[in-house]
Amino acid sequence: MAATSALPTSPSGSQSVEEDREPGRSRMETALSLLHQKDIEILKGVLQVNSALLTGAPDLAALRRTLQRGDLIEDLTSEIEDLAVGLKDGRGRQLRRIAVAYRSLLFDLQMLLDGVIAKGNIPKKLYRQIADDCVELVGLIEESKSRFWDLLASTDELTGLLNRHALEESFEIAFERSAKSDGLVAVALIDADHFKALNDTHGHDFGDRALVAIADATLGAIRPGDAALRYGGEEILVFLPNVTARTARSIMDRVRQRIEAIRLHAEDGEEVQVTASAGFTLATREDELETAISKADEALYEAKDKGRNRVIYRARQS
């Protein structure tokens, strides 16, 4: 295959891409590390609160200082929310849900403790509320860490997209979201054009940058309820729930255009355009995932044969 063309100037609508963001998997690892750190800090605070309550006559000033450890939770939520900005689809939403839950628990705990300080004593009922709240908080931490481990295992290290571990689940979720279109889900394969030539000409690091840019362009073009996975090599698999063939083509052509607008700079300063081809089909819940992917793959190769940088639809029965 021939190498992609170097373009001395960027045409209208193109975008020069600089890869300075942290990969999605690294963001997940950072979030998991934050949760583990917070686990230890909050458990220490819980032990201090319980110890104070069990004495029956705590030092209220010391208890107030212990409660102010809630600021640590505030720091965590801010960091998690910052991380969520760089993570698309369900992973970013999960981070935001965790941040909201932390804020809610912090508020509840603070209200309880304010009540203790205001009354100057600890009614047994209030002690039970605080104890239950602490148990809930610790449970949330453990649940959150478990979810992060699952997300980490299903996240591609380079692109931050979902990986093959999330394949079956993503397909099933797509059908759950497709009731409005008689259970139809578009299954699409995207493949970078001339990718081997890109690697041979500009090096594997450049190829990695191209894959990250293509992944970002794909996520930026699909809808919030859609899913994008790194299927293998330079291929990206997309599930589009609740679509017709016409709607799916429109979305996939938007993806193609976003990718076509990418401009990357090689080490020698050359500006290189990246394009991709795509093929898709429509699947019903009765269809096997492998069959749908195979049909999308046929459409993808047709797009390649017809000149690349295009989208081809292949009907299920063709």
Q: Which residues contact 231 (CB under 8 A, 6 or more apart)?
A: 164, 189, 237, 293
What average pLDDT score do residues 248-259 get? 98
State pTM to two decimals. Answer: 0.65
Domain that residue 195 falls in: 160-313
* Whether residue 144 is found in the same domain as residue 95: yes
Q: Give yes or no for residue 196 having a pLDDT over 70.
A: yes
- Domain presence at residue 208: yes
31 or 238, which is more confident?
Answer: 238
- Domain presence at residue 209: yes
CATH number at residue 135: 1.20.120.230
Q: Is 234 a catalytic residue?
A: yes
Instruction: Given the residues 29, 41, 234, 302, select the one marked as catalytic.
Output: 234
* Whether residue 174 is found in the same domain as residue 147: no
Which of 153, 179, 201 lies at the terminal end of a domain, its last residue? Answer: 153
- Domain presence at residue 11: no
Sequential DSSP letters for 136-153: HHHHHHHHHHHHHHHHHH
Q: What is the pLDDT of residues 99-121, one digit of tens each?
A: 666 666 666 566 666 666 566 55
- Domain presence at residue 318: no
* Whether residue 174 is found in the same domain as residue 302: yes
Sign, Cα dihedral of 74, 80, 82, 88: negative
Q: What is the pLDDT of residues 47-106, one digit of tens each?
A: 555 565 555 555 556 655 555 554 445 555 566 666 666 555 555 665 666 666 666 666
Helix (H) or strand (E) holding 116: helix 89-119
Question: Closest Cα partner for 133 from 102, 103, 104, 105?
Answer: 105
Q: What is the pLDDT of residues 145-161, one digit of tens each?
A: 676 677 777 888 888 88
* Whether residue 220 is found in the same domain as residue 273: yes
CB 156 within 8 A of CB 230: yes
